[in-house]
Amino acid sequence: MKIRKNNYYEKCIARQSCFGKIGFFLSLLILSSCNVTRYIPEDELLYTGANLQVSEEVPVRRIKEVREELQSLTRPKPNSKILGQYLGLWAYYKMQRENPGFINRFIFKKIGEEPVYLSQVDAEKTEELMANRLENNGFFFPEISSSFRRKQKKGDVSYQVSLDAPYTLKTYQYERDSLPIDKDIRDLLSSTQIKAGDRFQLSGFKAERERLNTELKKRGYYNFNPDFLIFDADTNQYDSREFDLFLRLKQNVPQEGILPYQIRSIQVLPNYSLDEYGENSDTTEVDGVQFIQDELSFKPDLLRQYILIEKGALFDASQSRLTSNRLSGIGNFRFVNVRYNQVEDTTTDGKGYLDARIQLSPLDKRSLRAELQGVSKSNNFAGPALLLNYRNRNLFFGGETFNLTGKVAYESQIASGEREGLNAFELGLKGDLIFPRVVFPITIKERFAYSVPKTKISLGTEYQDRRGLYRLNSVSATYGYFWNANRFVYHEITPVSINFVNLSRTSPEFDEILNANPFLRQSFEQQFIAGITYNFAFNKLMDKYRTHSIYFGANLDLAGAGLRFLNEALNGKNPNTFLGFNYAQYNKADIDFRYYWRFTEERLLAARLFGGLGLPYGNSVSLPFVKQFFSGGPNSIRAFRIRSLGPGSFRPDGASTASFFDQAGDIRLEGNLEFRFPLVPYLKGAVFLDAGNVWLVNENEALPGGKIGKDWFKELGVGTGIGLRVDIEFFVLRFDLATPLRRPYLPETQRWEKDFNITDSEWRRDNLIFNFAIGYPF
């Protein structure tokens, strides 16, 4: 044991030496970049940016947007800074050497920037652009001036903008009233965003034209174009700065552009290809839709449910788009092409005709795939895995997908500290059958507009050998539905969720762990977990150009009530067992809220709040082990190792295998705050603060201090740290280094960390926690 500690100490010293060299190199790099001005030519000044000062005669609504628009017009953009230094510019000048060398060429390729000089600034041209943009925003008489400032080989430019009161809208009206399209446009003006008192704004008029174009295409105007509309502003009717806005159709608009179109026929080719056009195929008609296929590729009555276009209805661009989305959502087609052909004939009431043709190119029906993976889990286990997957698309000619997956894996807990034996060997086999529709004993014909709800039936078995502890055999079965309500909202409900677990081949060491904690023993003995689950997600984080975006997720897991009802109905003698097996009774729910405040596309402040509660009842005094919450690790409180925090103020006698199972709970509360910023291409940095813990609902004598109380907030663990992320678009490697600020298991007066002696190797060994993971923590 002593030798092991010495080896560990030597490794720490080696790492410190390595980190010291890296820090020394970075320090030299930053210091050398401070002095880039010595490379600037004698007749040039380094351009450091533009300052903008805007003054208004009267208060103006949304003036911040005008300022930001004017600031965006300043050209050119100055050289960027990293950590306050011109590293990119320094790399450029180093590259200009006669023999720059491999390292200088590499650094220049990654971060190098050509210098931007004050002589490149065309202030007069920028003033013209600002004047034009201000006129587009209703300020017709702006006063704009500029001035240069030069100091110590650097220079900048200042723009002074003085604004009079802008022109505001008095009335908005449409001029014509003789054609069907005129009536439709008048109806649509009632929902316009242009209101009396609004500032003259060209971008608003363009948005109004696009809105009218979108709405008219829902009313049959297949060939309409927003360029057919024109706005006229009249400022001559008022002495004050007001104007009347008139909307009209341009002259010489083609007749077909203002004519509504009706669907005459709909044809669907479920097995379309360029090589086989299908002219000699059989035709089947279902509810006005013709299905043309030479051999059965997709059952027409099932495929008809995904088509929202109706024969005899007016053309509707939104229904056409949603039909395409629904057909793509089946998951069986490589390409979905909805085309319309105009017919020369017209109806008696002045409408045109369209023939709709839907071409579907199917994917390969069967596939076999083998994957060798390196898996990193949220519970800090990692290792290799081999997966074999067989897939059959369109199993019963109704878009059904069958997946059969076999898995062989080995995993070990990384960054486990002094805990040993935390590794496992796994074998698994799982089959999924997914129907692209609602499958229910009673026929349900859904008409979900945005996407197709899917039914998923799963059956699987898994064998896990936790080396030196136990063997676990499990069988699971689920039956449920999932769908996207719109682009941001996702639902998943599983009315039937059954999991049978059999614990076997326990070692004396694990038996000792269970005997010391009766709650833990029962959490493993509950062999039946049966109930219903529901998952909800609202996600706008994928939009990188939103300044403010949120994610909200909620999960509900109700288990045991159904089995108890069946047990009573079958007159079971023992209400705590079903078919001779113990079963779990609990209600569990959690919520996950995330907020992104983006300052730029890559620089943002990310916040997260997580709360989870599990309430065991009936024959359960604790949640099943696989359902319990834990805290600490790379996706939790990063200053504490995996499962090393809580429950409450509980502290195990020492870091061991037993504490891995003990340190979990029925309640979890966490909050995270992280600032992310770019360093160099593909490398990003972060500074973060984490706080949280887990607690028990019921008192457990084996875990003193674990039950939640009124002073729960005094038992929060707090940590902070820095991180590096290698972000290569399709995956992210994350490295976080954290240190505890508050340890809830210490006496109350000693919980806050007061000494940060980073130069002390022993302090670093006990207080610096390294986390490695794949993907962002939230």
Average pLDDT over residues 605-628: 90
Domain layout of the chain by residue ranges: 168-258, 261-362, 507-778
What lies within 8 Å, CB to CB, of 776 at 6+ separation is: 725, 732, 734
Mean pLDDT of the chain: 86
pLDDT score recorded for residue 700: 84
pTM: 0.76
pLDDT score recorded for residue 518: 78
CATH architecture entry for 507-778: Beta Barrel (2.40)
Confidence of residue 13 (pLDDT cuts 50, 70, 90): very low
Confidence of residue 34 (pLDDT cuts 50, 70, 90): low
C-alpha to C-alpha distances, 635 to 383, 389, 427, 732, 760, nearest whole angstrom: 18, 29, 26, 14, 28
CATH architecture entry for 168-258: Roll (3.10)
Lowest-pLDDT choice from 45-54, 278-287, 547-556, 766-775 = 278-287
pLDDT score recorded for residue 657: 61
Distance between CA atoms of 271 and 766, rounded to whole angstroms?
64
Cite the beta strand spans of 17-152 per DSSP E: 46-56, 143-151
- The one-letter amino acid code at 185 reads I
User: How do residues 553-598 score in pLDDT, each as one tens digit?
Assistant: 999 999 988 887 777 777 666 667 777 777 889 999 999 999 999 9
Average pLDDT over residues 200-218: 95
The answer to whether the beta carbons of residues 160 and 130 sit under 8 Å apart is no
Lowest-pLDDT choice from 26-35, 277-286, 468-477, 667-676 = 26-35
Distance between CA atoms of 771 and 688, rounded to whole angstroms?
13
Greater pLDDT, 112 or 99:
112
Q: Do domains 261-362 and 507-778 have the same CATH topology?
A: no
pLDDT score recorded for residue 658: 60
* Residue 174 confidence (pLDDT) above 70: yes
User: How do residues 411-447 score in pLDDT, each as one tens digit?
Assistant: 776 654 444 556 888 999 999 999 999 988 777 666 6
Confidence of residue 81 (pLDDT cuts 50, 70, 90): confident
CATH architecture entry for 261-362: Roll (3.10)
User: How do residues 664-709 score in pLDDT, each as one tens digit?
Assistant: 899 999 999 999 998 887 889 999 999 999 999 988 888 888 899 8
* Residue 75 confidence (pLDDT) above 80: yes
Say how many C-beta atoms besides its own lie within 10 A of residue 657's C-beta: 19
Selection from 416-420, 477-481, 746-750, 769-773 with the highest mean pLDDT? 477-481
Distance between CA atoms of 177 and 91, rounded to whole angstroms?
66
Percent of the chain with pLDDT over 90: 52
Q: Which long-range contacts (CB under 8 A, 24 or more apart) does 591-595 make?
A: 591/552, 591/553, 591/554, 591/555, 592/551, 592/552, 592/553, 592/554, 592/778, 593/550, 593/551, 593/552, 593/553, 594/541, 594/550, 594/551, 594/552, 594/778, 595/548, 595/549, 595/550, 595/551
What Rg do the C-alpha atoms of the chain give, in angstroms?
Answer: 34
C-alpha to C-alpha distances, 615 to 239, 620, 662, 702, 715, nearest whole angstrom: 71, 9, 18, 19, 20
